């Protein structure tokens, strides 16, 4: 039964059991708590963002809401249906899970859309026109009749996104949908997500570790960290909670001793080395020093003096607009992007 609360989640937890090696013949039980009592709801026609680093619990939560995983405890409803009503839930959602899975690689893109459309009982006459419009919308015409195994990572992601729209469900659940897309294609996908919400009143859960995506798209954001919702509000209110302080962005060469000395400077509340994506169409990233201070006008001269006398070379200083990244740093003391990079390094075995 439809309801104005399209998603309802209360005290949802998910624990995984594994064995931790202590030696060749010895091990002990290890419990990983992927979700720890998560509670939130999503209104009809809302884009709700789940913002957090990779490994925070976003994918586990989406897998539970799409009935791919059972929770350890707690309650969840999707479009008014409980998790044991999996057929009703699956007919209510279009889902895009993180990664390139969810397609049959030996089939063409068009055949995949045909297959999943039939699986969702989309009538054949409607299915043909809808697939044609999705291929046009996502500019997939040049690859639609090639097998998926020949696609690039970005092309696979676009086809998975098309698959999530093929049944025209009232709810979309998108897990890192712009992962592996270039800047232009990511921008196009976000535009389509916004159109699905505004033109077709789709309710959307949008999972991302990119704060600018959450700020651009979402009416409300839940920041998730280590399996817990640590902040929940609309992006503007979350940012305004920090605006009693000023935030300075310093670019240049900042030695560790300069950072240490800065923490003892009057008026400086916190410092953090962050990384920003350059806006020149490239993949270049550049580190900068984020400084939260009581009053930038009063504190700036001493901040500059402390940095330069401790060997820093300053190229540029700007007073920053508060972002959701700043909210995350303020609550956790860590950079969201740093956490994400560490998870990626762990998974790939990099140093």
Q: How many CB atoms lie within 10 A of CB 62?
A: 23
Asked if the model's pLDDT at residue 343 lies above 50, the reply is no
* Total of domains in the chain: 2
Contact residues for 282 (Cβ-Cβ < 8 A; gap 6+): none
Same domain, 59 and 25: yes
Instruction: Based on the fold, state whether residues 42 and 94 are members of the same structural domain.
Output: yes
Which of 2-11, 85-94, 218-227, 304-313 comes out lowest in average pLDDT? 2-11
Cα(100)–Cα(307) distance, rounded to whole angstroms?
45
Q: Which domain holds residue 187?
A: 5-239
Query: Do 256 and 155 reside in the same domain of the chain?
Result: no
Domain assignment present for 327 = no
Q: What is the pLDDT of residues 26-67, one digit of tens each?
A: 778 888 899 999 999 999 999 999 999 888 999 999 999 999
Q: Check whether 330 has a pLDDT greater than 50.
A: yes
Domain stops at, among 239, 272, 304: 239
336 has pLDDT over 90: no
Lowest mean pLDDT among 40-44, 141-145, 298-302, 326-330: 326-330
Q: What is the mean pLDDT of residues 264-275?
A: 89
Residue 339 pLDDT class (50, 70, 90 cuts): low
Confidence of residue 243 (pLDDT cuts 50, 70, 90): low
Mean pLDDT within 127-134: 97
CATH for 284: 3.30.70.2190
- For residue 227, count CB atoms less than 10 angstroms from its CB and return exposed for 0-12, middle for 13-18, buried for 19 or more: buried
Residues 152 and 173 in one domain: yes
User: In CATH, what number is assigned to the domain containing residue 17?
Assistant: 3.40.50.300
Residues 286-318 pLDDT 10s: 788 989 898 888 999 999 999 999 999 999 999
């Amino acid at each position: 039964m439809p309801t104005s609360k399209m998603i309802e989640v209360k005290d949802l937890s998910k624990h995984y059991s594994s064995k931790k090696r202590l030696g060749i013949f010895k091990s002990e039980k290890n419990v990983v708590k992927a979700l720890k009592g998560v509670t939130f709801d999503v209104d009809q026609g809302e884009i709700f963002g789940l913002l957090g680093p990779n490994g925070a619990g976003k994918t586990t939560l989406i897998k539970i809401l799409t009935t791919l995983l059972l929770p350890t405890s707690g309650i969840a409803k999707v479009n008014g249906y409980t998790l044991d009503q999996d057929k009703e839930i699956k007919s209510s959602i279009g889902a895009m899970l993180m990664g390139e899975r969810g397609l049959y690689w030996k089939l063409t893109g068009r055949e995949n859309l045909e297959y999943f459309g039939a699986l969702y009982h989309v009538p054949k006459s409607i299915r043909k026109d809808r697939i044609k419009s999705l291929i046009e919308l996502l500019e997939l015409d040049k690859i639609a009749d090639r097998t998926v195994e020949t696609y690039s990572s970005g092309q696979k992601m676009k086809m998975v996104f098309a698959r999530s729209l093929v049944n025209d469900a009232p709810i979309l659940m998108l897990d890192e949908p712009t992962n592996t897309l270039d800047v232009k294609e990511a921008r196009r996908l976000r535009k389509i997500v916004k159109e699905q919400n505004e033109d077709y009143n789709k309710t959307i859960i949008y999972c991302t570790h990119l704060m600018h995506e959450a700020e651009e798209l979402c009416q409300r954001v839940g920041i998730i960290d280590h399996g817990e919702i640590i902040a929940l509000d609309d992006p503007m209110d979350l940012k305004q909670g920090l605006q009693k302080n000023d935030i300075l962005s310093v670019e240049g060469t900042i030695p560790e001793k300069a950072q240490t000395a800065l923490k003892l400077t009057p008026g400086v509340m916190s410092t953090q080395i962050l990384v920003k994506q350059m806006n020149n169409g490239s993949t270049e990233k550049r580190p900068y020093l984020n400084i939260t201070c009581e009053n930038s006008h009063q504190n700036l001269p001493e901040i500059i003096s402390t940095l330069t006398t401790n060997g820093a070379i300053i190229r540029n200083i700007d007073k920053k607009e508060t972002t959701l990244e700043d909210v995350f740093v303020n609550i956790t003391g860590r950079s969201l992007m740093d956490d994400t990079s560490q998870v990626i390094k762990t998974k790939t075995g990099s140093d």
